[in-house]
């Protein structure tokens, strides 16, 4: 499963996450970032779309919108 690196948070210290990737074979998006731990947010999400044991909610900063859009454009 070759991945294409799309971008990383421009404000990240030391080149760490969050980052966005595209699976070349499927066009799926992969997000690396901090897990959302705020229970109020998790409860709200879980009420609409139950969070399964193998799933994680990942927070991506709003300043990465351009990078996410680029990933979406690359999969169209």
Checking if the pLDDT of 17 tops 70, the result is yes
pLDDT at position 52, please? 97
d(CA 2, CA 63): 26
Residue 1 has pLDDT above 60, yes or no: yes
Mean pLDDT of 60-73: 93
In the three-class reduction of DSSP (H, G, I as helix; E, B as strand; rest coil), residue 15 is classed as: helix
Quote the CA–CA distance of 6 and 19 in Å, as a whole number: 8
Q: What is the pTM of this model?
A: 0.83
Give the total number of structural domains in the chain.
1
- Mean of the pLDDT values across residues 27-35? 94
Eight-class DSSP state of 69: H
| Boundaries of domain holding 70 | 3-75
């Amino acid at each position: 499963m070759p991945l294409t690196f799309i971008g990383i948070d421009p404000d990240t210290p030391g080149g760490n996450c969050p980052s966005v990737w595209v699976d070349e074979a499927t066009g799926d998006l992969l997000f690396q970032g901090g897990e959302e731990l705020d229970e109020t947010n998790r409860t709200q999400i879980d009420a609409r779309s139950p969070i399964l044991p193998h799933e994680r909610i990942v927070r991506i900063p709003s300043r990465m919108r351009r990078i996410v859009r680029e990933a979406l454009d690359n999969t169209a």
